């Protein structure tokens, strides 16, 4: 085992500079894993969608999140430390029995240079009208460093963080041809009088 001062990561290959006075053996340092970083509280991200909170049956609804790489400070093995959380997988549940696991956060249609209702890697098309609850789980890989360090080192494992769910309404839309502007002439052919 390496002495702790020559192994800044405090992994199990390292040992403190002192020995157990009874046994005479080096005191083992526990391996650092993803579960040690739950208390750092990584961001869950927000579920975003377009159109906002409304889906049109048979057309694509675009979902995306703001869960991106970020850092948090906390205490690790009784030492001040930092953690860098990098999302590598996003698990969507669209609330209708369908879901998708993708490796990107998604983005608004305009940012992707797409038209409204175009398919994206995170979009979904609902088949029936109704209310649906959408959930998202973001999977983060972790890098860490103690306050006295400058370099990040990888942490074994990953954290799954659930975003707050959202509820949307899926509606049907009917397209009809009309002879006039129905707002200007509600009695026009194809218009329904208010």
Span 122-149, average pLDDT: 96
pLDDT at 177: 76
Q: How confident is the model at residue 65 (pLDDT cuts 50, 70, 90)?
A: very high
| CB 39 within 8 Å of CB 74 | yes
Return the beta strands (E) in 7-129 as ranges. 14-15, 47-50, 54-56, 60-65, 70-76, 79-93, 99-102, 124-125
| CB 102 within 8 Å of CB 89 | yes
Please say if the pLDDT value at position 48 is more than 60.
Answer: yes
pLDDT at 28: 52
Residue 29: CB atoms within 10 Å: 18
Q: How confident is the model at residue 55 (pLDDT cuts 50, 70, 90)?
A: very high
Span 33-53, average pLDDT: 93
| Terminal CA-CA length for the chain | 83
pLDDT at 71: 96
Span 174-186, average pLDDT: 80
Angstrom distance (rounded) from CA 45 to CA 67:
4
- Above pLDDT 70, what percent of the chain? 83
- What the chain holds in terms of domains, given with CATH numbers, is 32-171 (2.60.40.10)
Does this model's pTM top 0.85? My answer is no
Q: What are phi and psi of 34, to 5 degrees?
A: -55, -35
pLDDT tens track for 70-112: 999 999 989 999 999 999 999 999 999 999 999 999 999 999 9
pLDDT at 25: 52
């Amino acid at each position: 085992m390496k002495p702790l001062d020559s192994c800044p990561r405090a992994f199990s290959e390292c040992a403190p500079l002192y020995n157990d006075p009874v046994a005479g053996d080096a005191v083992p340092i526990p391996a650092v894993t993803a579960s040690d970083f739950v208390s750092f509280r990584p961001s869950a991200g927000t579920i975003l969608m377009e159109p906002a909170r409304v889906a049109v049956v048979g057309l694509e609804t675009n979902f995306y999140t703001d869960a991106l790489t970020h850092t948090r400070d906390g205490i690790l093995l009784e030492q001040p430390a930092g953690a860098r959380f990098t999302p590598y997988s996003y698990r969507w549940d669209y609330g209708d029995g369908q879901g998708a696991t993708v490796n990107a956060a998604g983005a608004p249609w305009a940012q992707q240079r797409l038209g409204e209702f175009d398919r994206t890697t995170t979009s979904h098309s609902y088949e029936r009208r109704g209310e649906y609850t959408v959930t998202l789980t973001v999977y983060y890989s972790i890098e860490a460093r103690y306050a006295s360090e400058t370099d990040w080192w990888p942490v074994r494992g990953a954290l799954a963080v659930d975003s707050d769910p959202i509820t949307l309404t899926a509606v049907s839309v009917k397209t009809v041809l009309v002879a006039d502007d129905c707002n200007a002439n509600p009695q026009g052919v194809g218009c329904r009088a208010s």
